[in-house]
Amino acid sequence: MVTIGIESVLETCLYVDDIDAAETFYGEILGLEFYSKEADKFVFFRVGPAMLLIFIPEASAAGDHELPNHGAKGVQHIAFSVLEEELDEWHSHLEAQEIDIEQDHTWPNGKRSLYFRDPAGNSIELASITIWSK
């Protein structure tokens, strides 16, 4: 039995083929707080107390750094929590930015999620902050 606990997700990674497009999308369209960038390698954003790390896959797997190689292939998924009362405003904002909303989904508990894609094709979800509430 585990007697220690995990408090929260500290960071998560997405992989893209264009760092500049990712910086524009996550920084300007989604409004995330820019943290740092290295051209053709990565761009990092602060998301509340956590971090979103966005890498060029070949750069994170290249082995030219002190950390273990890591990376992923194919599209990934990330969900950001938003205030439920702001989901309609997010829907309008994304449409105004010409972001195609794949689905506006209502869950069995009545909570909603908006699904769309980033420029690299990753599945992005904006979900009610209470989506996992009991």
pLDDT (tens digit, 9 = 90+) per residue, 25-36?
Answer: 999 999 999 999
Structural domains present in the chain? 11-60+74-128 (3.10.180.10)
**Is pTM beyond 0.85 here?**
yes
pLDDT digits (tens, 9 = 90+) for 8-54: 888 999 999 999 999 999 999 999 999 999 988 999 999 999 999 99
From its phi and psi, is residue 74 left (phi > 0), alpha (psi between -120 and 50) or beta?
Answer: left
Contact 112, 96 (CB under 8 A): no
Q: Which of 92, 75, 81, 74 is nearest to 125 (CA)?
A: 81
The sign of the torsion formed by the CA atoms of 26, 22, 61, 78 equals positive
